[in-house]
Amino acid sequence: MKPMGPIPPTFAAQTGTLTIGGQDATALVAAHGSPLFVYDAALVAAQVARFRAAMPAGVDLHYAIKANPLPALLTRVAPLVDGLDVASAGELARALAVKPGSAISFAGPGKRDDELAAAIAAGATINLESAGEARRALAAGERLGIVPRLAVRVNPDLELRGSGMKMGGRASPFGIDAEHAAAVVREVIAAGADWCGFHIFAGSQALDAAAVSETQAATLALAARLAEEAGAVPPLVNLGGGFGVPYFAGDAPLDVASVGAALDTALAARADVLRDSRFAIELGRWLVAEAGVYLTRVVDVKQSRGETFVVIDGGLHHQLAASGNFGTVVRRNYPLAVAPRMGSTADGEVSVVGCLCTPLDRLGDRVALPPVGVGEVIAIFLAGAYGATASPAAFLGHPAPAEIVV
């Protein structure tokens, strides 16, 4: 038997039939088909409210739409947040449908000239990833006759301790090395660009509040040092994000109240050069992961050499992360449940496998579940972030999943 991660509290408290946003999961599958991603907008709104309650007033919240760019979800999230962060022209177009360009920032290496031009034309802020990109953005602005809004993304000389994905403290395709950042700031200001500040993103999926706070304090100090060096006050310091969610057994939720209290203290003590700056935190998964459930019907239950396999009509082509093949070193089980039997006692050990013809397609490895039969629905939790759009949907030619917001 291998443990599963914790079922998010809203669902863990349920007994009998799983409901999402008050709707019966099995009925949702009957109505919309299987497999099906369901996102509960009220749970996202509750996370936003939790953020606002915990963070010091005046710290903006940006949603990194790479976590889940479904238009129907963006429509619900956009009014709740101060900004949207995008990572491509495709995401930019989705963001512009729900927010003005001035509330959008564009980060990511390898922005093509046409992407830079689209962002400048939209009035979005470009988080510059290199000195070369700075020059191409300035040239694009000149071609368009528009003053570009440019921020300098810094590759910090610090990392987010304990994060699942470190994005600082080393050589990196992301951002301009801290030791060269001030020179690029001076260059874009001298060229007449609208310099918007710094973007400093040190890592992702951190559950340790002390580590997040330590990184935020170090990020503030770095921004102050670079501002002094550049001789310019940054209008905005994007402090990154990195708030994680508990996916696996033993994970505990991030203590955001503690992060907020420490940030309040750090901001109060910030250097004078940042006195008039605004601050933002940029979050993806923390806002949306727990709000999503991947529902998939059982196609077969088979025995093989003493093991039971529950074969579902979904798989890693929709929810790669739950198979352990998206950014994890050791495969561990996401939380899952039999939708009609929430809270029932497990009656044995099964492996839940997808319909792809590869041994990688295992969404639950030797987990304890209540009895489940063909035609019934398995729920895989924490499917709101990096699910449908972060999975190889075209692999083996199965249909795309349906996605709904309730």
Ligand X SMILES: Cc1ncc(COP(=O)(O)O)c(C=O)c1O
- Contact residues for ligand X (CB under 6 A)? 64, 67, 85, 107, 201, 204-205, 241, 282-286, 385
CB of 129 to ligand X, least distance (A): 10
For 145-180, give one letter per residue: b (16+ CB within 10 A) or e. Answer: eeebbbbbbbbbebbbbbbbebbbbeeeebbbebee
Q: Which residue is nearest to ligand X (CB)?
A: 284
Exposure on the CB side of residue 98, measured as CA atoms within 13 A: 24
Q: Give the three-class secondary structure for 152.
A: strand
Q: Which is nearer to ligand X, 261 or 390 (CB)?
A: 390
Kind and range of the H or E element at 393?
none
CB of 214 to ligand X, least distance (A): 18
CB of 107 to ligand X, least distance (A): 4
Q: Which is nearer to ligand X, 222 or 273 (CB)?
A: 222
User: Cα–Cα distance between 247 and 382 in angstroms, integer?
Assistant: 7
CB of 243 to ligand X, least distance (A): 6
Q: Which is nearer to ligand X, 37 or 286 (CB)?
A: 286
Q: Which is nearer to ligand X, 51 or 286 (CB)?
A: 286
Q: Are 286 and 244 in contact (CB under 8 A)?
A: yes
R_g of the chain, CA atoms, integer Å: 22
CB of 159 to ligand X, least distance (A): 13
Nearest Cα neighbor of 130 from 159, 164, 155 is 155
CB of 217 to ligand X, least distance (A): 19
Q: Which is nearer to ligand X, 263 or 378 (CB)?
A: 263
Q: Which is nearer to ligand X, 283 or 321 (CB)?
A: 283
User: Cα–Cα distance between 316 and 374 in angstroms, integer?
Assistant: 20
